[in-house]
Amino acid sequence: MILLQLFASFFQIGLFSFGGGYAMIPLIQHELERHGWMTSGQFIDIIAISQMTPGPLSVNAATFVGYKSAGVVGGFIATLGVALPSLILILVLSGFFFRYRTHPLQRKLFYCIRPAIVGLIADAAISVLQTSLFKISFDSGWVSVFFGDFLGAFDIRGILLFTGFVVLLTVGKMNPIALMGISAVVGILVYTVLPILIPSMSIMLSTITQH
């Protein structure tokens, strides 16, 4: 049953997505939440892994989600589902596209599709920011964040890392591949090593001062 759901969900995503992998992210996330295959945090990790591995983001994400949900067969089925619509549409529509590529109606169609693609990519960016930079869920709305524990809602370490990496990427012109490798090492240090190291050092210092 889950294999059929994976194929149907990713076939639908591949069929109705325009604008590449980033525009598919909101649709993939919606299907994951609808079926309960993984949490938002796990999905953000999938996006990060998909970015770091060779191949299109949408195909990589489908493979990882399918594998996480139903093993190797699930990965194959999800990948087939997301890639098959594009293959069919290209074979069917390529002749019409090149024949009528200068037609005014086709140009107007693409002018209408472009803003929708920007909206889908913006939605994906906002979703990633919410999961990566905030400690709480936004299911109850933005109002609960700003009228609740405002400062406690932010992941300060995440915001500082995000700001630093944006500066390195835009101002420092750092290679994105090198930046991803550095961010992985820094993430391990900040979120795993330091939370263990700092309390241990505090205990040692308190013990030394007492003696």
pLDDT of residue 145: 53
**126-142 as b/e, with b when 16 or more CB fall inside 10 Å?**
ebbebbbbeeeeeeeee
Q: What is the pLDDT of residue 149?
A: 55
pLDDT the model gives residue 198: 67
Structure confidence by residue, pLDDT tens digits, 50-100: 777 777 777 888 888 888 888 889 889 988 988 888 888 888 777 777 776
Find the helix or strand (DSSP H, E) in which 134 lies: none
The whole-number average pLDDT for the span 184-210 is: 71
Dihedral pair phi/psi, residue 138, rounded to 5°: -100, 15
Tokens of 48: 């990060």
What are the sequence ranges of the domains in the chain? 2-154, 155-211
Query: What are the pLDDT digits (tens) for 133-151?
Result: 776 655 555 555 555 555 5
What per-residue confidence (pLDDT) applies to 3? 87
Read off the DSSP letter of residue 28. H
CA dihedral 103, 105, 108, 113 (to 10 degrees): -110
Q: What is the pLDDT of residues 23-55, one digit of tens each?
A: 777 788 778 878 888 777 777 777 777 777 777
Residue type present at position 133: L
184 pLDDT above the threshold of 60: yes
Residues 47 and 25 sit within 8 Å (Cβ to Cβ): yes
As a whole number, the mean pLDDT across the chain is 76
Please answer whether residues 23 and 117 qualify as being in contact, where contact means their C-beta atoms are separated by less than 8 angstroms: yes
Q: Where are the alpha helices (DSSP H) in 100-175?
A: 104-133, 142-146, 156-170
Tell me, what's the pLDDT at 151? Answer: 57
> Which residue carries 């994400």 as its tokens?
61
Which has the higher per-residue pLDDT, 156 or 102?
A: 156
Share of the chain above pLDDT 70, in %: 79
The full DSSP string for 55-76 is S-HHHHHHHHHHHHHHHHHHHH
In this prediction, residue 138 carries a pLDDT of: 53
pLDDT at res. 77: 92
Q: Is the pLDDT at 182 greater than 60, yes or no?
A: yes
DSSP string, 80-103: HHHHHHHHHHHHHHHHHHHHSTT-
Q: Is 201 helix (H, G, I), strand (E, B) or coil?
A: helix
